[in-house]
Structure 1
Amino acid sequence: MSRWKLAFLLLAATTLTTKVYRADSDLEAKSNTSKPMTTHPFEGDADEEGGSSEVKSEVFSDDFGHCALGMESPCADDDEGGEWASEGYCFTKEPKPPVGFAAMTPYSAALTRYLSAGSVTPEGCQPVQLWHLIRHGSRSMHKIDFARMESQLPPLRRMILKAHGIGSGLLCAEDLALIREWTPQMMDMGKTGVLTPEGRAEIRGIASRFKDVFQKLVYKPYFFEKSPSENARQRPGEGTEISFAPSFSSYDSAVTYLETLYGRRWGHVGLPVIGSPKLQYFDLCSNYINKVVARSKMRKPFHTFIKGKIMEAVLRRVSRRLGVTMTITRVRTMYNACQYQNAWNPKVPSPWCAAFTPRDLEVLEHWEDLRIYHDLGYAHSITYKQACGLGSDFFSRFRNHVENNKTDIDSTTYFANLEATVPFLTLLGLFNDTEPLNDKVVNRDRQWKTSRFAGYGSNLAMVLSSCRDKSWWVSALLNEESIKLPGCEDPLGCPWDKFMEQFAYLEKCNFTRLCGEITRRLWHTQYWRTHYVINNWM
């Protein structure tokens, strides 16, 4: 060995760091509970003072021992056995395939039960107004991502087949067949951002079920074969408002939703010609862009996570499983392919998912969740405060109905992107863990599991109801299931007075003061931001 190689190895040995893993909770624990914010969302903003609420990453030395607590840990090698071992595991024969694929999880995995009228409001209360925020359905991939997979995966597939041909690797015959039969053409789902067949099915299902339960609010027909005097409305959809973010997938979702409700006459409803900027507020908030998105990736925990022991162990196990030396770029590319094809056809095994064991996928899910937590969640207060326009929108609509008897709009439905829906859920105080997500711990019992609340087609419905005792009631539905709001004692929601007391801050929204002046330069951020998310965050 040359002295230069020896010097390099000595240097690497002195710079090893370690992480801690906690695996003391059941993976299937329910995560749709919430806790109130400890401070008012628009008070004590460290970001506005030039600071940051980012979780700081602490570096541990080797003096703390192994990077895991216990033998069966994400740092264990295959020869230690246990649930982390690759040998003997066959993805194709998995009786319960993994469903947690972070924000690329198909809606069917998050939907635990079908919506019913009895699960919305307490007895004696009748829904009178609906506010519905829906993330677009599953879509085709970005061309940058497709180009990466088209260039990297075919050579990798040949290497895997060759390795197994000479007796290396641990894939079972069925898993190896999946990878052998895979072709790049399977990843080509057409124009960037357009809904896939599964994405359309997701949106159609939501529209159909909400039409059944909230027919008087969501579906407003007009019978063309009747005279105007015989019709209760002047046009289809009168009394409803539908808008979409300026993106292909959001527009496609809105059209699919209306087609499901009105068939070929959906065009008479009056869908706006262009997307609404208020549903893409994250591209207009300069303080958010400068303090969060443009922050050096070296200061972001999801980037430092890939350099830690937990991810190193994943690379070792996947390398052993495939018989090919893995890099973080290769793992990322395979994981993306696994996610995409699982989202497009969740009932068919996704070939590149066979590269991972369920526990490897669990670590990769945490990696994704950590990224979303930092860029879209609780790590920086400016991130969720910028969503206050959506909060003010639904709060003022409900207040006008209760206090001013303004009943011209029965339902409001918005179709938006992940970057708009997650900060709004955060603004409401949902899925707020006691211990913030960080790069040191993979908490299997965390509330912040985006696969359960931010996958394709995920949606939040706020419902205002009128009760027999002349009171008012506010309920929330997440993915068609009642969710307990922070500060509310009843799992079905709050009386109006209690709701106003808890969420009055939603109306205190000054977007310009919070985010800074809008400039023409900011209109271009959506393009470099897409490039950043796909290429630069590793």
Structure 2
Amino acid sequence: MKLSIFLTVFVTLFIKAVMPIDCFWSTDCKYKYFSSKTSYENVRGDIRDSIVKPEGCELISGWTIMRHGKKNPGSKFLRNINSVLNFKDHIVSSYDNGNSSLCAQDVDNLREWKIDTSFINNPNKITNEGYQEMFTFGSRIKEALPEIFNNLREEEYSIQPTFGPRSEVSAEALIKGLGYKDLITEKATSNSSLASPYGACKPYNNEVHDNPDSYKMSLQYMETPEYVNMKEKLEKRLGLNFTLTNKNIIAIYDLCRYTSYGLTNEFSPWCAVFTQEDLKMIEYVGDLEHYYRSGYGASKFSTTFGRTVLADLFNKFEQAKNNQGKKTTVHITHSTMMDMVLVALNVFKDTNPLTAGHRDLNRKWRSTFLSTFGVNLIAILNRCGKSDEKLDEYKVSFYWNERPFLELCNGGVCSWQEFESIFKPFLNATTTDICEHNQYH
């Protein structure tokens, strides 16, 4: 009997000793999807490989709307991040005292990590990676679409960043990526430009953006058994002698995602405190926030605002058909507007609304792929010769993050009739009914 007990204990200890430990530093396939703060490099395609040029057609005009490149966190998020920076010492100390189950190398990497002072001192500033994201995007679209980006004259293009440095610097990087030094951007003079009509809409800000009810679902999710269980396991894994708040967890998550770099495939040592399942749950918090702030959960505003900017797409291509207008138009905006464009197009819409009580693993609304840094919608107008009726035929091809936008028309390519049926009604979109005009300034 004693021998049997001894053997059982011995085998248990032996198995524990030889079982491989799941360490972050040595994981080949790290989870790289961080909601709207994902690096563009981690979700993009390559327009050079995916460009569709219908046979017998010529490209005559392009239209793009995109989010600015990767930036530093805003002031509010930086305050929360500052409040958890000293957790690094607690995590390291806990490991040194034998209370943590993190891997030795992961702890060493965190031990050696130092905060970049520019990260703390420059809220919302475009990062080096963000600048490079925009530069390389410009380089790729110039190579893929020389017909509409080569030898641009001033009257042939329109590059419109929304109000503020993050969009303006992104425009500067894009222009350099296109191979130009002196293209002129149309600077917005307020936060109510065509590509950010929600900015000065008082009802939207009161009823949605600044309304605590818009974030109620994400807060409720963080009180569900699934999330609470994740939080308890995280605390146990770190071996801390204090309880983590939800704000603490999000702040550590922000450190993980803001100090990871997609272009160089480098992941922050702060990511090592989470398991892959942890990251998926926290990602869902971001999905809920976007869904109810600027997605289908705020459709009263999202639909109208999205249609107003898409009406510009229809107008530009209608003009190009008549040999007028621009060879290319680019709007540089924010994640809020990109969400609203998708709502206006009625794509990536789940059968049931996103809720705190059920995290659908197969949901269509994923902020990682819909709202991330650099996210973009590209439309290309093609003139395709003469029909039997001696009229020009036109096709419009669409791309989402440099891949064919399969959710629109036939694999992302619309006939002019299909394009017109979708986009022409947007000309009737107006903010008169939902915004007080005297709030625009």
Shift in CA distance, 497/294, structure 1 to aligned 2, threshold 3 Å: same
- Indicate the SS of the match to 1:431: coil
Kindly indicate whether the alpha-carbon contact (under 8 Å) linking 1:463 and 1:476 is maintained by their aligned counterparts in 2: yes
The aligned counterpart of 1:272 is: 186
Distance across 2 between alignment mates of 1:123 and 1:99: 38
Shift in CA distance, 179/381, structure 1 to aligned 2, threshold 3 Å: same
Out of 228, 231, 244, the residue aligned to residue 312 of structure 1 is 228
Out of 97, 100, 119, the residue aligned to residue 30 of structure 2 is 97
Kindly indicate whether the alpha-carbon contact (under 8 Å) linking 2:218 and 2:288 is maintained by their aligned counterparts in 1: yes
Shift in CA distance, 425/510, structure 1 to aligned 2, threshold 3 Å: same
Distance across 1 between alignment mates of 2:189 and 2:148: 23
Residue 396 of structure 1 pairs with residue 396 of structure 2: no
Kindly indicate whether the alpha-carbon contact (under 8 Å) linking 2:397 and 2:412 is maintained by their aligned counterparts in 1: yes
Out of 106, 110, 117, the residue aligned to residue 39 of structure 2 is 106
Shift of 1:343: 4.4
Matches within 5 A, 1:130-209: 130-154=62-86, 156-185=87-116, 188=119, 191-209=122-140
Matches within 5 A, 1:105-504: 105-112=38-45, 114-116=46-48, 119-154=51-86, 156-185=87-116, 188=119, 191-221=122-152, 236-263=153-180, 265-266=181-182, 269-275=183-189, 277-297=193-213, 300-324=216-240, 325-343=243-261, 347-384=265-302, 385-402=304-321, 405-469=322-386, 470-486=392-408, 488=409, 490-504=410-424
Shift of 1:295: 2.9
Kindly indicate whether the alpha-carbon contact (under 8 Å) linking 1:196 and 1:344 is maintained by their aligned counterparts in 2: no
Shift of 1:117: 7.0
The one-letter code sitting in structure 1 at the alignment partner of 2:317 is F
Shift of 1:133: 0.6
Moved more, 492-501 or 472-481: 492-501
Kindly indicate whether the alpha-carbon contact (under 8 Å) linking 2:61 and 2:328 is maintained by their aligned counterparts in 1: yes
The one-letter code sitting in structure 2 at the alignment partner of 1:148 is N
Q: Give the gaps of 5 or more residues in structure 2.
A: 1-19, 387-391
The one-letter code sitting in structure 2 at the alignment partner of 1:321 is R
Shift of 1:118: 6.3
The one-letter code sitting in structure 2 at the alignment partner of 1:400 is Q
Distance across 2 between alignment mates of 1:151 and 1:355: 17
- Indicate the SS of the match to 1:243: strand
The aligned counterpart of 1:30 is: none
Distance across 2 between alignment mates of 1:273 and 1:380: 28
The one-letter code sitting in structure 2 at the alignment partner of 1:462 is A
Distance across 1 between alignment mates of 2:188 and 2:61: 25
Shift in CA distance, 446/474, structure 1 to aligned 2, threshold 3 Å: same
- Indicate the SS of the match to 1:468: strand
Kindly indicate whether the alpha-carbon contact (under 8 Å) linking 1:137 and 1:195 is maintained by their aligned counterparts in 2: yes
Q: Give the gaps of 5 or more residues in structure 1.
A: 1-86, 222-235, 524-538
- Indicate the SS of the match to 1:474: strand
Distance across 1 between alignment mates of 2:258 and 2:362: 25
Shift of 1:346: 5.2
Shift of 1:142: 2.1
- Tell me the alpha carbon deviations over residues 250-276 of structure 1, each in whole angstroms, 9 at most, x when there is no partner: 00000111122244x32xx22234456
Equivalent pairs: percent with the same residue?
24
Shift of 1:397: 1.6
Matches within 5 A, 1:70-85: none
Distance across 1 between alignment mates of 2:326 and 2:209: 36
Distance across 2 between alignment mates of 1:398 and 1:273: 22
The one-letter code sitting in structure 2 at the alignment partner of 1:466 is R
Shift in CA distance, 238/382, structure 1 to aligned 2, threshold 3 Å: same
Shift of 1:392: 1.1
Aligned CA-pair RMSD: 2.2
Distance across 2 between alignment mates of 1:169 and 1:187: 31
Out of 497, 519, 523, the residue aligned to residue 439 of structure 2 is 519
Distance across 2 between alignment mates of 1:131 and 1:190: 35
Distance across 1 between alignment mates of 2:278 and 2:195: 35
- Indicate the SS of the match to 1:515: coil
Distance across 1 between alignment mates of 2:94 and 2:263: 29
Shift of 1:189: 6.4
Q: Which runs of 4+ in 1 moved over 6 A?
A: none
Kindly indicate whether the alpha-carbon contact (under 8 Å) linking 2:195 and 2:333 is maintained by their aligned counterparts in 1: yes
- Indicate the SS of the match to 1:326: coil
Matches within 5 A, 1:25-104: 88-104=21-37
Distance across 2 between alignment mates of 1:346 and 1:365: 22
Distance across 2 between alignment mates of 1:508 and 1:141: 37
Shift in CA distance, 308/298, structure 1 to aligned 2, threshold 3 Å: farther
Shift in CA distance, 183/366, structure 1 to aligned 2, threshold 3 Å: same
Structure 2 length-normalised TM: 0.87
Kindly indicate whether the alpha-carbon contact (under 8 Å) linking 2:319 and 2:325 is maintained by their aligned counterparts in 1: no
Kindly indicate whether the alpha-carbon contact (under 8 Å) linking 1:194 and 1:249 is maintained by their aligned counterparts in 2: yes
Kindly indicate whether the alpha-carbon contact (under 8 Å) linking 1:485 and 1:493 is maintained by their aligned counterparts in 2: no
The one-letter code sitting in structure 1 at the alignment partner of 2:267 is P
Distance across 1 between alignment mates of 2:63 and 2:261: 27
Kindly indicate whether the alpha-carbon contact (under 8 Å) linking 1:281 and 1:386 is maintained by their aligned counterparts in 2: yes
Distance across 2 between alignment mates of 1:429 and 1:252: 31
Distance across 1 between alignment mates of 2:52 and 2:165: 32
Shift in CA distance, 140/303, structure 1 to aligned 2, threshold 3 Å: same
Shift in CA distance, 118/100, structure 1 to aligned 2, threshold 3 Å: closer
Equivalent residue pairs, number? 412
Kindly indicate whether the alpha-carbon contact (under 8 Å) linking 1:122 and 1:492 is maintained by their aligned counterparts in 2: no
Kindly indicate whether the alpha-carbon contact (under 8 Å) linking 1:157 and 1:180 is maintained by their aligned counterparts in 2: yes
Shift in CA distance, 282/128, structure 1 to aligned 2, threshold 3 Å: same
Distance across 1 between alignment mates of 2:30 and 2:437: 48
Shift of 1:504: 3.1
Kindly indicate whether the alpha-carbon contact (under 8 Å) linking 1:377 and 1:383 is maintained by their aligned counterparts in 2: no
Shift of 1:447: 1.3
Shift of 1:419: 1.6
Shift of 1:339: 1.1
